[in-house]
Amino acid sequence: MTEHHSKLPTVGGGMPVIQYWAAKTLSTRGPHLWKKLNHKSACLSCAWGTGGQNGGFANESGESLQRCMKSVEAINAELMSAVPRQFFERHALSELQQLTSYEADRLGRLSVPLILRAGQKYYERIGWSELFRIAEDAFRCLPERAASYSSGRSSNEAAYLLQLMIRALGSSNLADCSDLCHAPSTVGLKQVFGSGTSMVSLDSLKKSDCVVLVGSNAPANHPRLVNELIKIRERNGKIIVINPIKEVGLVKFASPAFPIRSLLTGAEIASLYLQPIPGSDVALFIGIQKALLAMNLVKFDFLRDHAEGWEAVIERAHATSWTTLVETCGVSQSDIEAAAQIIGQSQNVVLAWAMGITQQANGVDNVLSIANTALMTGNVGKEGAGTMPIRGHSNVQGFGSMGVTTKLKKEIQQALETLLGKSLSRVPGYDARALMEAADNHQVDTLLCVGGNLYAANPDLTQAKRALGKVKTIIYLATKPNLGHFHGLASENTIIIPVFNRFETPHRTTTESGNNFVRLNDPGNTHLKKGDLISEVQFLTELAHRLLGDRPVDWRRLQNTKYVRELIAQTIPGYEAIGEIDNTEAEFTVGGRIFNEPKFSTPSGKAQMHETALPTLSLPNAQTYGISEQTRSLVVALITGRSYGQHNTVVYQLGDRYRAMPHRNCILLNALDAENIGFRNHQRVTVQGNAGKLEQVEIIFGNIRPHAALMFYPEANVLFKAKIDSRCGTPAYKRVPVVIYPDT
Ligand SMILES: Nc1nc2c(c(=O)[nH]1)N[C@H]1C(S)=C(S)[C@@H](COP(=O)(O)OP(=O)(O)OC[C@H]3O[C@@H](n4cnc5c(=O)[nH]c(N)nc54)[C@H](O)[C@@H]3O)O[C@H]1N2
Ligand SMILES: Nc1nc2c(c(=O)[nH]1)N[C@H]1C(S)=C(S)[C@@H](COP(=O)(O)OP(=O)(O)OC[C@H]3O[C@@H](n4cnc5c(=O)[nH]c(N)nc54)[C@H](O)[C@@H]3O)O[C@H]1N2
Ligand code: SF4
Ligand SMILES: [Mo]
């Protein structure tokens, strides 16, 4: 470690986590927090799936003490008091628009319905009858001009009702945060295995002796996954990390779940750490395949018996030269061979990935190249092995399962047509990016946002604001205020409806984890006793009833979520067991997802392998951005992602101590890269992309590969119009060309 990194901690997790727990649970909100931590419902934060009927602390294998600090952070944010009554009367929009994400969230919980009317400067309170009248009128537009966006914190029941209502109205514009997230995994894995989710259960992961962790910062975003990695190392298994940034918690992690085992020193995570060029993972995986071939570690019998299309994949690995591969990914041949050797010689390998893989212009190819590598080594269709997209929001996968998607499975489409007694719209519908483009082209009149922050989650915030400004009515269902409520404003009416969160809803709900496990969430109550909140299910059923009456389904009866679960059981393959869950309380694994035998959900039962093209990854020169040759400048591939202290667009803590980035307006740079051009550590610079710039950005030297950099979203979303992988609509948030130059 050089002096540039001297401020960096050398271990992820550890004492700061314990201190945070202590501070929060001993605070005045502490007793409340403990109650909610023990509530029988799935954790709000990530999709690892802690919580549920075994108690708030248990994971899917029933092991206790699995709640992490992120869970505490998420609950704590929900336990804030209501935004003060007169707040919105006293603060004009122009003031609200000055707030940062952190400040917006700190305002407190939303507790009364609000409206911003055309031409007005203040949000004002609105009664339910007028609110429903406006909502009803808005949805009486042409079906193709109505749309929804959703974020994966709401329940399966809300998700199912949302898509049923939108489809019953004749629209299929069901944009979802997964379009910006794991859509490439769904598209890629479906092509190969006929199923778009992880094929590995938590129990199966526990039988693995090697995990390849690609493009994931799990210590921050899926902390309890790291416990499994620690246990694999303890069993003498291997962890290969592939990430352009050396994330400290992936080098060493001190887990509070193992207090006796060296909380201060931490356990080693990575056995081998490869730092490729951002966006180059296909080249790295073809390199691994090439090395496996050379070492005679490819399982040809397995390919012949269980896969189709493998010949072309093998041929591609043969034919691509080492020079090309090494130049494209920036990792040496010997390091690639070392990775191949570990993978080829392990018994059971799980290949797991997150946003470093999916948020790329070739996200689907990235996923295909990982799946190819798994197949070539026989690491699919058996216990302890397989492909594992690490899902984001706690119920984002459930939203997809419930049919909130623009790529509806045939079986679900047919079942819904039988249920609704009419054919569904055959127009594919807008995904999140298409929705923004359509809105910008005046093609959307009404938009219902079930959670999330569509504005700040998108690239090019200038366009996002302009596009949303062309929608006539936007209805936000939300628990907390966020930037979208102050910048994503409709031309006529913007409505914010305060909703109960998962541990407050007065009825039972369910959620699905990234490991395909369905959790049953007990009813709860809210601390916002004086508020006027509504459950998402109640809002959706009431609106649907007003628009569609009692036919073909009795929408008001669906306020009883047991009835929603009956419909889910009837129409969603793999979810049959949900029809009985009210009687049995038995949480279950969705059928047809976990492959412990090499028989897949493709027509032939064999995996369908696909060749992947090498990405071309040049960076433009500074002059493209109008920077003169005389100005000292550096063009880099910017990774935009999460700090340690945020949940997506919501900022909880300003700094990121694990990367020694003290505030939000920092850029993590390679020291040699910066010094070559004469930039110093902590110097303030301008960072400019193809859509905007940020000034006064502080340079922080870190362990990141040359010509790459890291900044935090949502702030960084002002900088760029993203490239999109057209097969899935996902923006390339992880490879944004930007130029850096001294502030003028
Ligand atoms: N606490 C917390 N938990 C969360 C979230 C949160 O914001 N906060 N968000 C949730 C959601 S919705 C999601 S999607 C997940 C996100 O979880 P992650 O995917 O872990 O989050 P990111 O910050 O986007 O980081 C991705 C990682 O990919 C690496 N990377 C970037 N480019 C490349 C590349 O080209 N190749 C490779 N191999 N790696 C690359 C980055 O350096 C970074 O370490 O977390 C979920 N859980
Ligand atoms: N540059 C860049 N941009 C990105 C990413 C990136 O890595 N880089 N990541 C992308 C990814 S992976 C994702 S998933 C998206 C995230 O995009 P979104 O899911 O749209 O955004 P969030 O910030 O998670 O949404 C937070 C809001 O959800 C609301 N909320 C919380 N709980 C509930 C609930 O129970 N019900 C309801 N109705 N509302 C609730 C709160 O009001 C809160 O303010 O961002 C994407 N954008
Ligand atoms: S790992 Fe994820 S699901 Fe488990 S407690 Fe932490 S944030 Fe919640
Ligand atoms: Mo995500």
* Alpha helix (H) residue ranges in 578-617: 581-584
Pick the residue whose CA is nearest to atom 40 on ligand 2: 451
What confidence tier does 632 reach under pLDDT thresholds 50, 70, 90?
A: very high
What digits encode the pLDDT tens for the residues 31-58?
A: 788 888 888 999 999 999 998 888 777 8
Residue 443: CB atoms within 10 Å: 18
Query: Mean pLDDT throughout 299-325?
Result: 98
The pLDDT of residue 14 is 73
Q: Which two tokens stand for residue 446?
A: 């009404």
Strands 307-308 and 607-608: parallel
What confidence tier does 64 reach under pLDDT thresholds 50, 70, 90?
A: confident
The DSSP 8-state label assigned to residue 109 in this structure reads B
CA–CA separation, 200 vs 202, rounded Å? 7
Query: Mean pLDDT throughout 325-331?
Result: 98
Query: Mean pLDDT throughout 450-462?
Result: 98
Given a cut of 80, whether residue 258 has pLDDT beyond it is: no
What confidence tier does 67 reach under pLDDT thresholds 50, 70, 90?
A: confident
Q: What percent of the chain has pLDDT over 90?
A: 89
Residue 519: CB atoms within 10 Å: 29
Q: Which atom of ligand 2 is nearest to the CA of 477?
A: 38
Given a cut of 50, whether residue 134 has pLDDT beyond it is: yes
Ligand nearest to the CA of 104: 2
The pLDDT of residue 287 is 98
What digits encode the pLDDT tens for the residues 368-404?
A: 999 999 999 999 999 999 999 999 999 999 999 999 9
Asked if residues 530 and 112 have their Cβ atoms less than 8 Å apart, the reply is no
Given a cut of 50, whether residue 3 has pLDDT beyond it is: no
* Alpha helix (H) residue ranges in 307-440: 310-319, 322-329, 333-345, 355-358, 363-376, 396-401, 410-420, 432-440
Residues 6 or more apart whose Cβ sits within 8 Å of residue 113: 125, 126, 127, 128, 131, 495, 496, 497, 498, 532, 534
Q: Which two tokens stand for residue 669?
A: 């740079």
Ligand nearest to the CA of 731: 2
DSSP string, 614-660: PPP-----GGGGT--TTS--EEEEEEEE--TTEETTEES-S-BGGGT
Does the beta carbon of 51 lie inside 6 Å of ligand 2?
A: no
Does the beta carbon of 197 lie inside 6 Å of ligand 2?
A: no
CA 697 / ligand 1 centre spacing (Å): 22
Residues 6 or more apart whose Cβ sits within 8 Å of residue 324: 283, 614
What confidence tier does 16 reach under pLDDT thresholds 50, 70, 90?
A: confident
Asked if residues 211 and 352 have their Cβ atoms less than 8 Å apart, the reply is yes
Asked if residues 516 and 197 have their Cβ atoms less than 8 Å apart, the reply is yes
Given a cut of 80, whether residue 709 has pLDDT beyond it is: yes
Q: Which residues line ligand 1 (CB under 6 A)?
A: 45-46, 70, 181, 214-217, 220-221, 242-245, 247, 276, 278-279, 281, 354-356, 392-393, 639, 641-642, 646-648, 734
CA 329 / ligand 3 centre spacing (Å): 32
In this structure, is the dihedral angle defined by the CA atoms of residues 277, 281, 284 and 286, taken in order, positive or negative?
negative
Q: Which two tokens stand for residue 539?
A: 């809002």
Q: What is the 3-state secondary structure (H, E, C) of 685-700?
A: EEEECCCCEEEEEEEE
The pLDDT of residue 259 is 59
Pick the residue whose CA is nearest to atom 27 on ligand 2: 452
CA–CA separation, 95 vs 657, rounded Å? 30
What digits encode the pLDDT tens for the residues 714-734?
A: 999 999 999 999 999 999 999
Query: Mean pLDDT throughout 552-561?
Result: 94
The pLDDT of residue 238 is 98
What confidence tier does 551 reach under pLDDT thresholds 50, 70, 90?
A: confident
Residue 235: CB atoms within 10 Å: 10
* CB neighbour class for 278 (10 Å; exposed up to 12, middle 13-18, buried from 19): buried
CA 734 / ligand 1 centre spacing (Å): 9
What confidence tier does 7 reach under pLDDT thresholds 50, 70, 90?
A: low
What confidence tier does 262 reach under pLDDT thresholds 50, 70, 90?
A: low
Does the beta carbon of 720 lie inside 6 Å of ligand 2?
A: no
Distances (CA, A) of 334 to 203, 320, 331, 579: 33, 16, 8, 53
Residue 410: CB atoms within 10 Å: 7
Q: Which two tokens stand for residue 136?
A: 């009803």
Does the beta carbon of 70 lie inside 6 Å of ligand 3?
A: yes
The pLDDT of residue 37 is 82
Q: Is 337 helix (H, G, I), strand (E, B) or coil?
A: helix
Ligand nearest to the CA of 390: 1
CA 45 / ligand 1 centre spacing (Å): 14
CA 261 / ligand 4 centre spacing (Å): 32
CA 392 / ligand 4 centre spacing (Å): 4
Pick the residue whose CA is nearest to atom 1 on ligand 3: 224
- The answer to whether the predicted template modeling score (pTM) of the entire model surpasses 0.95 is yes
CA–CA separation, 688 vs 620, rounded Å? 12
Strands 493-498 and 114-117: antiparallel
Does the beta carbon of 606 lie inside 6 Å of ligand 3?
A: no
Query: Mean pLDDT throughout 336-342?
Result: 98
The pLDDT of residue 688 is 98
CA–CA separation, 149 vs 447, rounded Å? 7
Ligand nearest to the CA of 51: 3
Report which of 536, 558, 435, 553 is spatially closest to residue 174, judged by C-alpha positions: 435
Judged by phi (left if over 0) then psi (alpha if -120 to 50, else beta), residue 177 lies in alpha
The pLDDT of residue 21 is 67
Does the beta carbon of 154 lie inside 6 Å of ligand 2?
A: yes
Given a cut of 60, whether residue 150 has pLDDT beyond it is: yes
The pLDDT of residue 263 is 63
Given a cut of 90, whether residue 61 has pLDDT beyond it is: no
Query: Mean pLDDT throughout 584-592?
Result: 96
What confidence tier does 27 reach under pLDDT thresholds 50, 70, 90?
A: confident
Given a cut of 50, whether residue 6 has pLDDT beyond it is: no
Does the beta carbon of 650 lie inside 6 Å of ligand 2?
A: yes
Asked if residues 542 and 488 have their Cβ atoms less than 8 Å apart, the reply is no
What does the mean pLDDT of the chain come to? 95
Distances (CA, A) of 1 to 4, 252, 322, 659: 8, 14, 30, 13
Q: What percent of the chain has pLDDT over 70?
A: 97
CA 645 / ligand 1 centre spacing (Å): 13
Among 39, 41, 45, 217, which is best to mutate for testing ligand 3, by the most ligand atoms less than 8 A from CB?
A: 45
The pLDDT of residue 1 is 33
What's phi and psi for 295, nearest 5 deg? -90, 5
Query: Mean pLDDT throughout 148-175?
Result: 98
Residue 321: CB atoms within 10 Å: 9
Query: Mean pLDDT throughout 111-139?
Result: 98
Asked if residues 42 and 21 have their Cβ atoms less than 8 Å apart, the reply is no
The pLDDT of residue 5 is 45
